[in-house]
Amino acid sequence: MSLDWLRPAALAGLAVIAGPVLVHLLRRQRAPRVTFPTLRFLVPTRAAAATLRRPSDLLLLCLRVTIVAAAAIAAAQPVFVTTWRHAAWERRVARVLVIDETQSIGAAVPRVRDVVAAERGGSTQVSEIHTTSLAEGLKQAAAMLRRADAGRAEIVVISDSQLGSLTAADVGALPPEIGLRFVTLGAPRRGATFRGWRSFHAGSAPAVEQQITLDGSRTRIMLIASKPSAREVTFLAPRERAEDVAVLKRVVAAAGAPEMPVDRGLTMIFPGAVLPAVEPLRVLWMVNALAIASADARLLAVASAHRGAPARSPGTPWVPLARNGSGQPLVLVAAANQNLVAYVSAAPSELVAAAALRSLLFAIVPPPNWREREVERLSASQLAGWTRAAKPSAARWTPQPPGDARWLWGLALLLLLVEGFTRRASSSAREEHAHAA
């Protein structure tokens, strides 16, 4: 059996023990004063004076010290860790349900509710994490369980277990004592066909759209003709650069890039063009696009490799998106009339212009969640291999309230009564003793 504390800081209250000790030392033992007809036959004794320097009434002092100590210890809320208590602790299971919220599980949502209700029964603590990324959900669950007050911890993944939703690395990152179970819901799908991107097109080239077909482990992508988008990228460049701009569009179209959605706009401006009135980026999709594009390794690599000296860059509120090898801004962005405006400090014929355009198109049009479309499932053997039982961990032990403070409070109360009785008895006994013949 060991001892643990719920509020160990309260043990500092033990310092209060010095109180009664000091009081008894300072007050000393007060000899009862008695009157006598004469002192002529009496002599003072040293022993009496020495006795009076000892703490008065040792029994009372002991009682008072014990009361204070019991109260301080009770305030610290001790927990006696017995075998029984430890076993009970180990029986406690903290459970986190990682619930797949991807569209693919949509049809199985009622079943999810049933599973959640079943998993909640019999467990001390159950938390839920609703996520569209099981890998992220596992990380969050592990973090939550690290703080859980239970002897064992378990993660239950409720999902349709699409292939790729979890990897061995995701599972391996979990602490080994955390249990893992999988509840697979929904009927397996044989195949699915859906639309991918509408491709950026240039000039008279026909607009095409991806048609993706998943058939078991096979994937087919067909490009089918589609209507051109009502929203196109606007280019502002000197008239003599028109041909370069056309080449730029064709290059980007050939390289492959998504078409602009109808609710967003992009304007590319090259040196020599009249700059429109711009404003800082405030619209969320523009800020997101800036964040995505500024992390595009290809764009950054092309920009840093750009040799030509950049034209004089406009100032505020333009925000640099990419810089050349000398650190000078090469591509800058701002906002104008709900459009994202990009200023490329190079000719349209430069590679950096194509890289900037393609990067911005990808940044403006978020990639579809291909994983959502997966029809293959993680194999049963794979899930069984990842499944493991929760193990009790001594490191997880945390003392649980209410602890055993109530016994100490009771003891303190009892001793308080004894102290009161002893104080009265001692006082009257002293008087009687002094006068007793």
The residues that bridge with 198 in the sheet, in sequence order, are 209
Least distance (Å) from other proteins to the CB of residue 30? Answer: 8
In DSSP notation, 324-348 reads -TTS-EEEEEEEETTEEEEEESS-T
Q: Dig out the tokens for 228 from the structure.
A: 């051109």
CB of 42 or CB of 221, closer to other proteins: 42
CB of 417 or CB of 436, closer to other proteins: 436
Query: Are the beta carbons of 357 and 346 closer than 8 angstroms?
Result: no
Least distance (Å) from other proteins to the CB of residue 63? Answer: 21
CB of 44 or CB of 121, closer to other proteins: 44
Beta strands in 162-311 (DSSP E): 179-184, 191-198, 208-215, 218-225, 234-236, 265-269
CB of 40 or CB of 239, closer to other proteins: 40
CB of 35 or CB of 316, closer to other proteins: 35
Least distance (Å) from other proteins to the CB of residue 60? Answer: 16
Query: Are the beta carbons of 95 and 156 closer than 8 angstroms?
Result: yes
CB of 187 or CB of 437, closer to other proteins: 437
CB of 60 or CB of 68, closer to other proteins: 60
Q: Dig out the tokens for 272 from the structure.
A: 């020599």
Least distance (Å) from other proteins to the CB of residue 33? Answer: 4
Q: Dig out the tokens for 19 from the structure.
A: 């109180």
Buried-exposed string 324-335: b where 16+ CB fall within 10 A, e elsewhere: beeeebbbbbbb
Residues contacting residue 261 through CB under 8 Å, at least 6 positions apart: 229, 231, 364, 365
210 SS3 class: strand
Least distance (Å) from other proteins to the CB of residue 54? Answer: 11
For residue 317, whether the previous peptide bond is cis, meaning omega lies within 30 degrees of 0, is yes
Token pair 């990380």: residue: 139
The residue ranges that bind other proteins (CB under 8 A) are 29, 31-45, 47-49, 51-52, 430, 433-437
Indicate the length of the chain as a whole number. 437
Least distance (Å) from other proteins to the CB of residue 435? Answer: 7
Token pair 């995505």: residue: 292
| Dist CA 222 CA 245 (whole Å) | 29
CB of 46 or CB of 239, closer to other proteins: 46
CB of 56 or CB of 345, closer to other proteins: 56
CB of 88 or CB of 434, closer to other proteins: 434
Least distance (Å) from other proteins to the CB of residue 58? Answer: 14
Query: Are the beta carbons of 325 and 257 closer than 8 angstroms?
Result: no
* Degrees, nearest 5: CA angle 74-75-77: 65
Query: Are the beta carbons of 29 and 56 closer than 8 angstroms?
Result: yes
Least distance (Å) from other proteins to the CB of residue 59? Answer: 15
Q: 265-269 and 319-323: which strand pairing?
A: unpaired
Torsion of CA 102, 107, 112, 114, to 10 degrees: 170
Least distance (Å) from other proteins to the CB of residue 427? Answer: 14
| Dist CA 32 CA 27 (whole Å) | 13
Least distance (Å) from other proteins to the CB of residue 53? Answer: 11
